[in-house]
Amino acid sequence: MPRVAVLGSANMDLVVRQPHAVRPGETIFGTSFSTGAGGKGLNQAIAAARAGADVTFIGAVGRDEFGARLRQRLVDDGVDVAALRSVEEATGIAAITVTDDGENSIVVVPGANGYAGFTEADAAAVAASAYLVVQLERPEALLRAAMRFARDRGVTTVLTPAPAREGIDDLVALADVLVPNEHEAAQLSGESDTDEAARVLSRTGGTVVVTRGARGAIVARAGEIVHRVAAHSATAVDTTGAGDTFTGVLVAWLAGGATWPDALDAAAAGAALAVGRAGASDAAPTKAEVVAALG
Binding site for K(+), by residue number, is 238, 240, 274, 277, 279
**Residue numbering of the annotated binding site:** 11-13, 39-43, 137, 181, 211-216, 238, 240, 243-244, 274, 277, 279
**Residue numbering of the annotated binding site for ATP:** 181, 211-216, 243-244
Sign of the C-alpha dihedral computed for residues 134, 186, 15 and 240 taken in this order: negative
**Residue numbering of the annotated binding site for substrate:** 11-13, 39-43, 137, 244
Which of 179, 147, 177, 182 lies closest to 244, judged by CA?
Answer: 179
Continuous H helices in the chain: 40-50, 65-76, 120-127, 140-152, 169-173, 182-189, 194-202, 242-255, 260-275, 287-294
Q: How many CA atoms lie within 13 A of 35 on its CB side?
A: 10
Contact, 237 vs 210, CB < 8 A?
A: no
Any idea what DSSP says for residue 282?
A: G
Any idea what DSSP says for residue 192?
A: S
- Which residues are part of the catalytic machinery? 244
